Amino acid sequence: MIESTSLGYPRIGPGREWKRALESYWAGELDEPALRSAAARLEGGALRAQAEAGLDIVPAGDFSLYDHVLDAAALIGVVPAGFPRAGDGPVDLATYFGMARGTPDAPALEMTKWFDTNYHYLVPEFGAGQGFRVAWDRPFEALAAARSAGVRSRIVLLGPVSLLLLGKVRSGGVDPWRDLLPRVVEVYGEVLRRLAERGARWVQLDEPCLAQDRTEADLAALEGAYRALARAKGDLRLLLATYFGDVRPSYATLARLPVDGLALDFVAGEAGNLDALLRHGWPADKTLVAGVVDGRNVWAADLRGRLDLLARLAGIVGPDRLQVSPSCSLLHVPLDLDAEGSLDPEVRPWVAFARQKLREVVTLAAGMNRGTQAVAAELAANTEALERRRRCPRLRQAAVDARLAALRPEDFARRSGYARRRAVQDERFHLPLLPTTTIGSFPQTAEVRRLRARRRRGDLSAADYRAALDAEIRRTIAVQEELGLDVLVHGECERSDMVEYFAERLDGFLITSAGWVQSYGSRCVKPPLLFGSVRRRRPMTVRWTTYAQSCTPRPVKGMLTGPVTILEWSFVREDQPRSRTCREVALAIRDEVADLEAAGVGMVQVDEPALREGLPLRREGWAPYLAWATAAFRLATAGAHESTQIHTHMCYAEFGEIIEAISALDADVLSVESARSGAEILAAFRAHGYDKAIGPGVYDIHSPRVPPVQEMARLLRATLAVLPAAQVWVNPDCGLKTRAWPETVAALRHMVEAAARVRGEVAGGGR
């Protein structure tokens, strides 16, 4: 019998209850027992909901208080220097959240993207003399929660090999495989023994790093680790789970591991994984968990096509060795389409959120076990929805097709080189050495959010709404002038989200009311649905930017989101190449750049924080992706006059490996996250050089901590050790939307003072 299961589930709650609980706890409005009680309610509700959906095996332990990678680090007692430790005792919540958000004495852990998703994980730090122990009780609590919920469960843990690969060794001379992995595996073995003693039957160890390029040393370390775990686990059964791609280079190693099952992705990795099974066969001692329903995107599965694939897989592995699952954790999609009240009725049948994806999984298992007649109604409805989608005229607009076809090479290049542009822009703006600015957004207060909500409900007239936002813009401009910033922004008070705002104003997108997904911690985003031809209907930002510029003689940047980021942070149509869809978005942004320029705006920032995120997991796909992604950015910006200064911004990803592509964007000014990652990007500039202006961030905005002036000045001096002062700008790591005004003003005041201090050193010949 083919069973149904999943690899993970959304953890924010039906109404983002976990966000509110966390933020109340951090504000001191909720104590620790109340927070833990809220977590238990959400975790139990998620377990029961999955069982009620019909899953035979429910994942448990995937719920996290903040981040599952941080959980894995806490599980084995990895706490960096600077955070309180309790000897051999457990990691407490103060330490756990301190690592996530920083403390007065220590900055937060580095944060970066979880593979090619928009989820952010916290980067564990390992060092020489690192001690390991079982220091976090979440797996055991999860097992108890599953038992209390009355579900047949499988405990989920991040695997030890991926944990080390996702972390960073902060000490020289430490070899992760030789010096760390054996001791990490020893602690994992103890965790497995304790779970077995408490009655666990299956444990899922996630090793998503196997979808990336792996060396022979990596695979040897993997094999050694799992042979050691097999000796420690007793009667416990192990499922090694991979996702986000195929495992062709690693398949031979995986096939001989002493584990009881492998979970493989047959959506992102369908061709490669199927090829590996057909070429090398399936080991008779293992269960295959086949991820045939897309866990990353919201489009309904082609159920008949998925049944055909499952039939092929059953013929290879045997029906008694096959389970049906989403391709990865459903963490990456919204929870429930039934809670979505505003989605276009034409598009709604094409869509499946997490609960609907579980229904698809259960339907597929039933179809395999009892025949297609048993699910005839579901198959008929699915076929009709897919056929209506294929025939929808909104998928292709003739005007958009014609404009794409007419593009010429010169549409992708600025009219003059950077050196010429720099001279013209210097003459226009007369900025000081080390000019100061911010990334774009300023704090979104409760009052601003209420204004937007009142306008959506119709409780506020358009004129009154504009007047209220104008007042907020005036305030934001005045604060920046008082602080002494050189280049200002209007603050983005009219925007709920840097992608959603534009999606609301472009053809081809739909906005949800309840389509929330977790980005990190308590931060949730609502990705739009990009389903059809993209076209700009009218100017989107000109009115707010020009109003802000009228309030000050200092330059104000126009703020736009770039085409790659709009693509990556949306649920994107899969019926045409992503490169084509990205060009459609780029043309819409190009039109906005032109209108801002025509209105007299001299600086335009086109943010691309997702450029690195979209990079394929294997290097063989890097060059094609970077070619079309950088071309899309240039298409969006190349129409600007040489006197218009084009900025871009990137954050929270590993950029060193793609520094040539970043330079190929041909932006005049790049602002980039640097403070939270320990200024690692400076090593890339040292190795490869960079000839344009750049602002490596001097403080981390995702933490409430306000760094002292000396700390920011130290980071700025580190930048000047690599780059000439004439190239360097001074700015935070990212936008300030999630911060409160008092800490924002305090941090920016420190930043401006640090810039002035170092500017004086440079002018005095000290640098």
Q: How many CB atoms lie within 10 A of CB 576?
A: 13
**Both tokens of residue 524?**
């949730």
Residue at 105 is within a domain: no
Asked if residue 380 and residue 444 are part of one domain, the reply reads: no
DSSP β-bridge partners for residue 509: 530
Annotate 491-528 with DSSP letters as a single string. Answer: B-TT-S-TTHHHHTTEEEEE--SS--EEEETTEEE---
What's the confidence (pLDDT) of residue 678?
A: 63
Asked if residue 481 and residue 440 are part of one domain, the reply reads: yes
Q: First-to-last CA distance in the chain?
A: 72
Asked if residue 517 and residue 371 are part of one domain, the reply reads: no
The dihedral built from the CA positions of residue 463, 469, 475 and 478, taken in this order, carries a sign that is negative
Asked if residue 384 and residue 447 are part of one domain, the reply reads: no
What's the confidence (pLDDT) of residue 87?
A: 64
Asked if residue 374 and residue 464 are part of one domain, the reply reads: no
Structural domain harbouring 449: 398-403+417-763
CATH number, domain of 502, equals 3.20.20.210
Asked if residue 632 and residue 492 are part of one domain, the reply reads: yes
The dihedral built from the CA positions of residue 355, 358, 364 and 370, taken in this order, carries a sign that is negative
Asked if residue 133 and residue 68 are part of one domain, the reply reads: yes
Residue at 409 is within a domain: no
Residue at 11 is within a domain: yes
Residue at 83 is within a domain: no
Closest alpha carbon to 60 in 155, 159, 138: 155
Q: How many domains does the chain have?
A: 2
Asked if residue 486 and residue 607 are part of one domain, the reply reads: yes
Asked if residue 387 and residue 454 are part of one domain, the reply reads: no
Residue at 89 is within a domain: no
Residue at 87 is within a domain: no
Measure the CA–CA gap between 632 and 618, rounded to whole angstroms: 21
| Low-confidence residues in the chain, pLDDT < 50 | none
Q: Determine the 3-state secondary structure of 213 from DSSP.
A: coil
8 Å CB contact between 634 and 659: no
Amino acid, single-letter form, for residue 375? V
R_g of the chain computed on alpha carbons: 26
Asked if residue 640 and residue 576 are part of one domain, the reply reads: yes
Amino acid, single-letter form, for residue 442? F
Q: Which residues have a Cβ under 8 Å from the Cβ of 275 and sit 6 or more positions away? A: 246, 248
Q: Determine the 3-state secondary structure of 233 from DSSP.
A: coil
What's the confidence (pLDDT) of residue 416?
A: 96
Closest alpha carbon to 311 in 387, 242, 371, 378: 371
**Both tokens of residue 349?**
């049948």
Asked if residue 424 and residue 572 are part of one domain, the reply reads: yes
DSSP β-bridge partners for residue 290: 264, 324
DSSP state of 321: G
Measure the CA–CA gap between 752 and 756, rounded to whole angstroms: 6
Q: Could you tell me if residue 748 is left (phi over 0), alpha (psi between -120 and 50 degrees) or otherwise beta?
A: alpha
Q: Determine the 3-state secondary structure of 388 from DSSP.
A: helix
What amino acid positions are annotated as catalytic residues? 702
**Both tokens of residue 30?**
């909720």
Closest alpha carbon to 743 in 697, 712, 710, 701: 701
Closest alpha carbon to 39 in 58, 64, 59, 60: 64
Residue at 158 is within a domain: yes
8 Å CB contact between 259 and 219: no
Annotate 80-106 with DSSP letters as a single string. Answer: -TTS---TTSPPPHHHHHHHHH-BTTB
Residue at 411 is within a domain: no
What's the confidence (pLDDT) of residue 105?
A: 83
Asked if residue 457 and residue 383 are part of one domain, the reply reads: no
